[in-house]
Amino acid sequence: MGIMSFLRERMGKIVAIGIGLALFAFVAEEAIRQGSSMFHDDRNQLGEVAGEKVAYDEYSKQLEQNIAQVKQQSGQATINAQFTGYLQENTWNQAISQIILSKEIEKLGLTVSGDEAQSMVSGNNPNQQIVQAFSNPQTGQFDKAALNTFLNNLKTAKADDPQAVRWTAFIKQMIEAKNGDKYMSLVSNGLYVNALDAKDEYEAKNKLVNFKYVTLDYASIPDNKVTLTDDDYQSYYDEHKAEFKNKQELRTFDYVSFNASPSKEDSAAVKDQVEKLLPAFKSDANDSLFVQVNAETKVPLAYKRKGQLGDPKLDTVMFGAQKGFVYGPYLANGSYKLAKLVDSRVSPDSVKARHILIDAQQIGVQKALAKADSLKKLIEGGKSFEELAKTYSIDKNSGEKGGELGTFGRGAMIPVFEDAVFNGKKGELKVVASQFGVHLIQIEDQKGSSPVVKVAVVDKPITASAKTQAVAYSKAQAFLGTLTKDNFDAETKKAGLVKKTATDVNDMASSLPGLDNAREVVRWAFKADKGSFGDQVYIVGDQYIIPVLTTIKPKGILPLDVVKKQIEPAVRNHAKAKQLMDKLQSSGSTIDQVAQKNNTNVVPVQNIVFANPAIPGLSLEYKLIGTIFGSQPGKLSKPVEGQHGAYVFVIDNFINPTPLNNAVRIKEQIGQALLQRSQGQIFDALKDKANVKDYRAKFM
């Protein structure tokens, strides 16, 4: 229950800030700077940044913390392979950015003074992360008293206290982020927008052109009428070489898969297994224990309103059923299930309560229960619950407010706490024990009333049997035995299989479209030679995979042979453009003559601006519009090669906007756009300069 302890909630929030969109900064600065590790050799080297080593053990420690924080936030015991890969990538990026920026910051001598750091925590204008972490959950306002209480508690904590350690790491991260902000501000302050920039921007958005054009579409020439030469490919490649820069090595492989998902027989076997549990489930008096022993998903039993059971079928049958009623077996979410109505009642919709939390870990459960009973008697004798909460509750967040937890509905608290407050009566004092300690609870108010049910669910997932897996594996193994270096496609067709493709896979990929947990196949792909096929059957979930490596795209400018297939449509259009432009060039001296000779129409266009180079009905035509705005009215243009075809045009007129008298607002808009782009571009430039080397694939 998040609100049970100040540190459990607040420190969890502090440490978790930025996990989703910007992960907690890599804290092992000194270990990385010195390139040190417990191994003292390259076996622990995860990468290299500007000549400095990134240690695997430090990265791994930070990654584990990040994963733990995500699990805590999501309430899930596991996270899928795709999200794990996301966390791995973000933790790595944080690691290298820390080193890159720290070098630049050190060169410039940027620092955060002690007074500045103190002001960021407890000054009149504290850091936004502090404000967010210490906001009152009821009002949403910054609670400075809660911050001061927390800081005072830290003063008496030991240096190795987990709270103190987390706080120190948080402050370090906050200071590093402040230094990063200072660096970015220094660089971005060098950006300058002058009046000419503003004038160009204004005219690009407001100067209008009216013109007419004639076009011959590329589709007018059949593809089979165009023969592409090596010179055609080479010429296009040379002109566009910068577009083929590959930031990291990528590999593409084809594969066939043999399905080992559960068969009808497997499904029937699981259903039969669940049916055999039915008599015992009906008669067993300890439903909670039965679920813990027999269910795949073991969750505490709790009262729930309609719509909270997680399955519309249960909503339909359980509300209005008699206690002890058992439903099933039924199929839901890939499992066969049994559901038993343990109890039903009418319960409040929401409860307002307060509590005093006694630390059972320090003094033991029995002593904590006895202490809670003593406090209960004091309150019954007239003592103030509010004052006792401030004095005795270890949940300092609520304790400072007299133990107040506010108003909450079902599902907000842990089951034992929830049962106490929703099943009790207004004004009642209750003592319960949970994993957080012993709670002395006072029910202050209860509002509304709705039917609730407590349902025990036993589930068994449908999984493939050993027989099903063996059959699929045997087929895959037999197919593998037919392969030679050059017959993958032929054997795939012969076997009636569907060839699939994993395109542009990087060496850190752990999941691919349609393939989760594909790490082993990816490792093979980055060790294999082009054209080679897998030397074994790879098991990926319920699929048995046999791959063949088709393409290797090395880091850097990709060679022509790698991108040849990719650029073929553009090369073909370029070749067509030459034919069409020659045709337009020789068609006449006026646009009407050109249209008549080519059996097409003159198309008028009005009110086009340079900033939006879209031709109605044809989408974007950058080169055409750029050429138009650089031409003179009244003259038939030379042919222009466009995106959709070849063009000639005649400009009717330009319509100039009113003069720009005040450029301030436009300069501000341009400056803001430059600023937004600059931060990413600055880091990209620093990263290129740092010569980052990534060895993660050998560890993962």
321-379 pLDDT, tens per residue?
999 999 999 999 899 999 999 999 888 989 999 999 998 888 889 999 999 999 999 99
The fraction of the chain above a pLDDT of 70, given in percent, is 93
Is 102 in contact with 28 (CB distance < 8 Å)?
no
Between the CA of residue 559 and those of 243, 437, 650, what are the distances in Å?
12, 65, 41
Residue with tokens 């209960």: 376
pLDDT value, residue 692: 85
Whether pLDDT at 13 is above 50: no
Q: How far, in Å, CA of 260 to CA of 464, rounded?
A: 7
Q: How far, in Å, CA of 622 to CA of 638, rounded?
A: 16
pLDDT value, residue 578: 94
What is the Cβ-side half-sphere exposure of residue 366, based on CA atoms within 13 angstroms? 0
Would you place residue 75 in the very low, low, confident or very high pLDDT band (cuts 50, 70, 90)?
low
Rounded to the nearest 5°, which phi and psi values hold at 194? -100, 180
Would you place residue 72 in the very low, low, confident or very high pLDDT band (cuts 50, 70, 90)?
low
Is 397 in contact with 6 (CB distance < 8 Å)?
yes
pLDDT tens figures, 29-45:
332 333 333 334 567 88
Tokens linked to 293:
């022993």
Which of the residue ranges 115-124, 231-240, 634-643 would you say has the lowest mean pLDDT?
115-124
Would you place residue 2 in the very low, low, confident or very high pLDDT band (cuts 50, 70, 90)?
very low
Whether pLDDT at 4 is above 50: no
Whether pLDDT at 22 is above 50: no
Q: How far, in Å, CA of 540 to CA of 518, rounded?
A: 6
User: What single-letter DSSP state applies at residue 309?
Assistant: S
pLDDT tens figures, 387-421:
999 888 988 888 888 999 989 888 788 888 988 99
Which of the residue ranges 266-275, 467-476, 582-591, 684-693 would you say has the lowest mean pLDDT?
684-693
Could you tell me where the beta strands, DSSP code E, fall in 448-562? 450-461, 500-506, 538-540, 543-553, 556-557
pLDDT value, residue 500: 95
Would you place residue 28 in the very low, low, confident or very high pLDDT band (cuts 50, 70, 90)?
very low
The fraction of the chain above a pLDDT of 90, given in percent, is 51
Is 368 in contact with 360 (CB distance < 8 Å)?
yes
Q: What is the pTM of this model?
A: 0.62
pLDDT value, residue 289: 93
pLDDT tens figures, 471-524:
999 999 999 999 998 999 999 999 999 999 999 999 888 888 888 788 899 999
Long-range contacts of 370-378 (CB under 8 A, 24+ apart): 371/438, 372/431, 372/438, 372/439, 372/440, 373/431, 375/440, 376/429, 376/431, 376/440
Q: Which domains does the chain have, with CATH numbers?
A: 2-188+692-698 (no CATH), 208-244+561-655 (no CATH), 250-261+465-554 (3.10.50.40), 264-346 (no CATH), 350-447 (3.10.50.40)
**Helix (H/G/I), strand (E/B), else coil: 48:** strand
Q: How far, in Å, CA of 494 to CA of 331, rounded?
A: 38
Would you place residue 632 in the very low, low, confident or very high pLDDT band (cuts 50, 70, 90)?
very high
For residue 665, which of 191, 186, 195 has the smallest C-alpha distance? 195
What is the Cβ-side half-sphere exposure of residue 627, based on CA atoms within 13 angstroms? 19
Whether pLDDT at 26 is above 50: no
How large is the average pLDDT for residues 548-569?
92
Would you place residue 55 in the very low, low, confident or very high pLDDT band (cuts 50, 70, 90)?
confident
Whether pLDDT at 77 is above 80: no
Whether pLDDT at 644 is above 90: yes
pLDDT tens figures, 168-208:
888 888 888 888 888 888 888 888 899 999 999 999 999 99
Mean of the per-residue pLDDT values of the chain: 86
- Residues 50/56/57/62 CA torsion (nearest 10 deg): 80
Q: How far, in Å, CA of 473 to CA of 259, rounded?
A: 9
